[in-house]
Amino acid sequence: MSTEALDHATVPRPKTSGAGPPASRTARAAAGRWGLRSIALLYLGLMIALPAVAVIQRGFTGGFASLHDALAEPGAHSALILTFVMAAITAVINAILGTTVAYVLVRYRFPGRAILSTFVDIPFAIPTLVTGVMLVALYGPNSPVGGFLVDHGIHVIFARLGILFALLFVTLPLVVRTVQPVLLELDLAEEEAARVLGATRWTTFRRIVLPAILPGVTGGGLLTFARALGEFGSVVVVSGNLLNKTLTAPVFINQLIGGFKANEAAAIATLLFTVSFAVVLITERLTHRGLGPRAGAET
């Protein structure tokens, strides 16, 4: 073909209608995305945000007067102290034992492993009131186990030890299910290399595994603490609700409501909610970004 023919040749141009998706399709996709977001925000707003705002507004309508009046009630300070102390002890114990359970489920293969994993989730399925009844049936003074413990001076039911057992039971899955995915993502090559070099199993865990799962362990422990602050169903059954002895803050709130002191109850509830919300925010930061230099490298 000659040069003149090439110069006068007509080069076909792409049609503009095929250059991208139709405008109607783009609009429908955008509408779908915003629709889903709106449904999620509406649901969260109705189920979480509005009730939280209502409690805060009810408890602090007159400033801090309702909180002051609630704290002036007999047993208020001891109930709050007992609640925070028991929640902290529960978080520490379950952080250790829950991590141990998660490590066994991930690293070992043995008969009954699937059943053990199912048992971990049972506290999620059982109503907390049923948990309290179970503990009374097992550790009550009229039961064989409870009677044996009472004869040796160990009181579980209607004592602080019963509160601790109830909190440990209902919060165990939080640590296990937080740490387990982190363990599943770890590369076994580093552990095998450490063992080849002569490191013991404990040294390998302490130097290699623990730093990697520490954000998950800490996050699970914090979630346990936040959950334990608000536990009511199992505690109200096993504690006996003794003033200045086994009365916890959630049960104290229930007593305030029964005494037609809704504003004071809302003030105490807002205090617990604020602490729990702050703990959840810290947990989200730890579990998503990790701890220490490794987190800094990722961010």
pLDDT at 18 over 70: no
Cα–Cα dist 237/239, whole Å: 6
Cα–Cα dist 157/242, whole Å: 12
Is residue 134 within 8 Å of 168, Cβ to Cβ?
A: no
Q: Crossing angle of helices 50-59/262-289, nearest 10°?
A: 130
The fourth-level CATH superfamily of domain 63-298 is MetI-like (1.10.3720.10)
**Tens-place pLDDT, residues 173-193:** 999 999 999 898 887 888 788
pTM for the whole structure: 0.81
Report the pLDDT value the prediction gives residue 170, as an integer from 0 to 100: 95
- The residue-averaged pLDDT of 25-43 equals 78
> If you average pLDDT over each of 38-42, 249-253, 286-290, which comes out highest?
249-253
**Tens-place pLDDT, residues 152-162:** 999 999 999 99
DSSP 75: T
Torsion, CA 151, CA 152, CA 158, CA 161, rounded to 10: -160
> Could you tell me the CA-to-CA distances from 137 to 161, 166, 258 in Å, in that order?
15, 13, 28
Is residue 203 within 8 Å of 126, Cβ to Cβ?
A: no
